[in-house]
Structure 1
Amino acid sequence: MVDGALFAGPALRRLRRREGLSQSAMAARLAISPSYLNLIERNQRPVSARVIVQVADQFDFDPRLLREDETIGGVDGLARRLSDERFADLAIDRDELNEFLAAAPHAAAAFARLYDNAAPAALRDDPIIAVRREIERWRNHFADLDTAAEALADELRLSRGDTGAALTERLRERHQIAVRILPNDVLPDTLRRLDLHARQLQLNEMLDPASRTFQVAIQIAALEFRSAIANLAAAPQFADPSARGLFERHLTAYVAAALVMPYGRFLRACEGTGYDLAVLGRRFGVGFEQLAHRLTTLQRVGQRGLPFFMARIDRAGQVSKRYAGASGAAWLDGDASCPLWLAHRAFERTGELCVHPVLVDGAGGAPAHWLTMARTVNGRGGARFVVALGVEAHMAADIAAARGISLRAEDATRIGQGCARCHVPNCVQRSLPPHGAVLQFPALEQGVTPFRFGG
C-alpha cells in the first residue's frame, strides 16, 4: 500500500486460479488487457477502483479481501513483530517488509500468526494488548465514525460558536438531559455520571472547561452513535469481554474527538498553522492530550494529515497509552522507554513543550529519525503524566515545533527502546543488558557501563 494505492496481485492471482482462468480469460472478464492484469498480479501496478468494482461484480468477490495485509496491521504491524530482539541481527528494513507483504501476504500473515501464538498466554489474552492491536489494524482511523461525527458537527454549527454550549444544548433538546456541575465531595471518585432518573449529566467541578466539553461530547457519542460503535466493537470477536468494553470506550472517545475537532476543519487548521499545537488547542478548546489523540487519526483517503504517533508516560518511564496511527513507530511497542529521551525531563518543565529530534535504535538497519514533542498533562486525582508526539523528521520541516531546530540526523540524540530492547553500546544510562546479548567480561579493563556485550 503506497499513498493510498492498493497492490493486491497475489489475491487476484489466487482468485484467477480458483476460477480456473487464464490471464487472458480473466482480463476479458475484467475488461482490461492481459498485459495490464499481468502487471497487477506482479504488484507492478495498483488495482484501480474500476477493476475492484469489476472483480466484485464478475466473481461475487468481497473486495475487502484484497486488503490482506490489514489483518496483521500492514507494514507497521509486521515491523512491530520484527522489532523483537531475536531478529536484531537480520537488519530487516521497511523496504524488505513492503516487498514481503506485496509478494507473499499469506506467508507474512502466517509468520504474524506464529509470532503472536508464541507469546505467553497471559499476553495473548491480555485485553489491553488485544485492543491495541485492533486499533493498530485500523491505524486509529475509523472513517465511518469520522464522517458521521463531522456531519453532526456541521448540523450543530460547532465551528461558529461555543462548542460546549452547542453540545450541551444538543443534549437538552434531543435527549432531555441537562448538564449539572456538582461539587467534588459529591462526586469524589467520578468525572461524569449520567443520572437518568433526574435526566442529568453530572460533571465533577474539578474538570477544566475543555474537559467538561469533552465529557459532554462523550455522552452524545454514547447516545447517538451507540449502534455504529457496537457493530465495530463486535467485529473482532474478542475472546475477553473486557477487550470489547475497552474498544467501545476507545471508539466513543474517538467520536467525541471527531465532534469537537471535525475532520475537515481540523486538518485545514493543522495545515494552515503548521501544526502549531498551542494555536490548535486554543482554537478547538481542547487539552494537549485530547489534541495529541486526534493528531494520530488523520488518515482519511484523499485528505491525509501528517502521520503522528502519541504516547503517554509516567514518572517511572512506563508507557500507559500509545497510538502509532500510520506513523510506523514500532519502537513504542514496549513497556519502558529510553531515559535519554527528553520526554522524561518534561516532568521538570511543567507546561513547557519540549522538542527533541531523536535517532531511535531499532532491530537492525539504520536508526529511525524522528522529531518528538512532549509536555506535562494532569490526570485524574492529581496524577501527572507526559504526553509525547512524534513525526518522522523528513516530514517535519514545515511544522511550527521545528522552527529553529536542526533536523539533520547527525544533530539528533540517539536513543533506544528501553534498555532490555536496546543494543546501543557504551550507554552511560544503561540499567539492563539487552535480551539475547552475550555479555563480555574483559579482565584488564572496566567500561563506562557495567554491561559490555556482543551479538
Structure 2
Amino acid sequence: MSQLDLKIGPKIKAFRRQLGIQANKLSKQLNISPSYLALIEGGKRKIDGDLLLKVCQELKIELSDLTTKDDINLANNISELLDDKLFEDLDILGPEIKDLVNTNPKMARALIKLGDNYKQKDHELVNKVENLSGKMIDSRKTSFPGEVVSDFIQENKNYFPKLESFANTIFEKIQTNNRTRYMSICEFLKNEYSITVKDIIPEEGKPFSKIYNKDKKELLLSDFVSLETKKLFAAAQIAQEGAINEINEYLSKFSFPSEESKKLTKVALLNYCGAAILMPYKLFHSECK
C-alpha cells in the first residue's frame, strides 16, 4: 500500500467532519458498511477509483483535494490530529489551523510527524499489554471483527505462502489451458474428497447461496448465484478439505479477541485459497503484464 493510499483515508475523514457528516450517513450514501468506511478512513484499506469518485461527489470536493499534497490537505491532516481527545479542551478553530499551515508549514508537518509517532507508540503499547494480560484493551477490535481480519491480513502482508503452494498444486491438477472450469473443480471434489456438488434452485422464501451437508458430503450451490461465485465456493471447499491444517496454523499464530473474529478470518483464508486455486498469483501477475 503506497503512502498516497495511506493518506487518502484520513483526508476523507477530515473533509467529512468539516462538513458535519456522520460516518454512518456517508457509508450509507456510498453503499458500504460503517466498519469498512472506518478501515478506509484509518488508512487500513485501499479505495478503488469508482468509490473514490463517489466519495468526492458526496463530499462535494475535487479529486485533487484527496490525491495532491497541497496546503489544503496539510490543514486537513492537522485537523485530524487535533481532533484527538487529548486536545479537546483547547478549542482550536479551523482558521487557526489554516494560519499555522500558511505561516509555518514546516511546523505543521512536524506536528503531524509527532502525532503519527505518538499513535504508533500508543498502538504498540496497547498490543504489548494485551499480549501480556490476554485481555482486550482496545474495544474497537471487539466491536468490529472486520478490523481484526484486516489486522491479521496486514500482519501477514496479505501473503500466505503455504496456501499459495497448495493452490498451485491443485491448479495444475484441474486446469485446462491455464483456466479452471467449474466442472473440473466439481469432479476434483468428487474424486478426491467424495463430495458431490449440486446446483439447486432454492425454495420460495428459503434463499441461500451455499449449504454444505457434512453427513451426506454434499455441497449445495444456489442456481441464482453467478458461475464465478459457484467456482469460488467450490474451490474454497477444496481448501476446507485439503488446506485446513495450514489455515489453522496461520490462525494459531495470531491473538484473536473473539471467536467471531477468528471464524471470520478463517472464512477469509478459505476464500483467499479458493481464489488462488482459480487464478494462482504467478499466472495472474504474468497476465497483467
Deviation, structure 1 residue 138: 2.0
- Is residue 275 of structure 2 the alignment partner of residue 270 of structure 1? no
Q: Compared with structure 1, are the counterparts of its residues 208 and 124 closer, same or farther at alpha carbon in structure 2 (3 Å cutoff)?
A: closer
Alignment partner for residue 121 of structure 2, among 102, 105, 110?
A: 110
How many residue pairs get matched? 184
Q: Compared with structure 1, are the counterparts of its residues 167 and 191 closer, same or farther at alpha carbon in structure 2 (3 Å cutoff)?
A: same
Listed one character per residue, the Cα deviations across residues 244-303 of structure 1 (whole Å, up to 9, x for unaligned) are: 1111111000000100011111110111xxxxxxxxxxxxxxxxxxxxxxxxxxxxxxxx
Q: Compared with structure 1, are the counterparts of its residues 157 and 202 closer, same or farther at alpha carbon in structure 2 (3 Å cutoff)?
A: same
Unaligned runs of 5+ in 1: 1-75, 101-106, 272-455
Listed one character per residue, the Cα deviations across residues 412-432 of structure 1 (whole Å, up to 9, x for unaligned) are: xxxxxxxxxxxxxxxxxxxxx
Q: Compared with structure 1, are the counterparts of its residues 248 and 159 closer, same or farther at alpha carbon in structure 2 (3 Å cutoff)?
A: farther
Q: How does 1:46-57 map to 2 (within 5 A)?
A: none
Q: Which has the higher strand share?
A: 1
- Is residue 167 of structure 2 the alignment partner of residue 156 of structure 1? no
Listed one character per residue, the Cα deviations across residues 22-61 of structure 1 (whole Å, up to 9, x for unaligned) are: xxxxxxxxxxxxxxxxxxxxxxxxxxxxxxxxxxxxxxxx
User: Any conservation in 1 of the 2:189–2:196 contact (CA below 8 Å)?
Assistant: yes
Deviation, structure 1 residue 190: 1.9
- Is residue 212 of structure 2 the alignment partner of residue 194 of structure 1? yes
Query: What is the alpha-carbon distance in structure 2 between the residues aligned to residue 252 and residue 240 of structure 1?
Result: 19
Q: Percent identity?
A: 18
Query: 2:89 — aligned with what?
Result: none
Query: 2:271 — aligned with what?
Result: 253
Deviation, structure 1 residue 108: 8.5
Deviation, structure 1 residue 232: 0.7
SS of match in other structure, 1:181? strand
Q: How does 1:252-401 map to 2 (within 5 A)?
A: 252-271=270-289
Q: Compared with structure 1, are the counterparts of its residues 189 and 246 closer, same or farther at alpha carbon in structure 2 (3 Å cutoff)?
A: same
User: What amino acid is the match of 2:272?
Assistant: Y
Deviation, structure 1 residue 189: 3.3
Q: Which has the higher helix share?
A: 2
Query: 2:186 — aligned with what?
Result: 168
- Is residue 188 of structure 2 the alignment partner of residue 177 of structure 1? no
**Higher relative contact order (CA closer than 8 Å, sequence separation 6+):** 2
TM-score by length of 1: 0.36
SS of match in other structure, 1:125? helix
Query: What is the alpha-carbon distance in structure 2 between the residues aligned to residue 165 and residue 83 of structure 1?
Result: 56
List, as ranges, runs of 4+ consecutive aligned residues in structure 1 with deviation greater than 6 Å.
Answer: none
- Is residue 62 of structure 2 the alignment partner of residue 86 of structure 1? no
User: What amino acid is the match of 2:121?
Assistant: A
Alignment partner for residue 139 of structure 2, among 118, 122, 127?
A: 122
Q: Compared with structure 1, are the counterparts of its residues 165 and 86 closer, same or farther at alpha carbon in structure 2 (3 Å cutoff)?
A: same
User: Any conservation in 2 of the 1:187–1:204 contact (CA below 8 Å)?
Assistant: no
Larger radius of gyration: 1
Q: Give the root-mean-square deviation of aligned CA atoms.
A: 3.5
Q: How does 1:435-450 map to 2 (within 5 A)?
A: none
SS of match in other structure, 2:139? helix
Query: What is the alpha-carbon distance in structure 1 between the residues aligned to residue 156 and residue 148 of structure 2?
Result: 13
Query: 1:218 — aligned with what?
Result: 236
Deviation, structure 1 residue 178: 1.3
Q: Compared with structure 1, are the counterparts of its residues 267 and 84 closer, same or farther at alpha carbon in structure 2 (3 Å cutoff)?
A: farther
Query: What is the alpha-carbon distance in structure 1 between the residues aligned to residue 204 and residue 217 of structure 2?
Result: 17
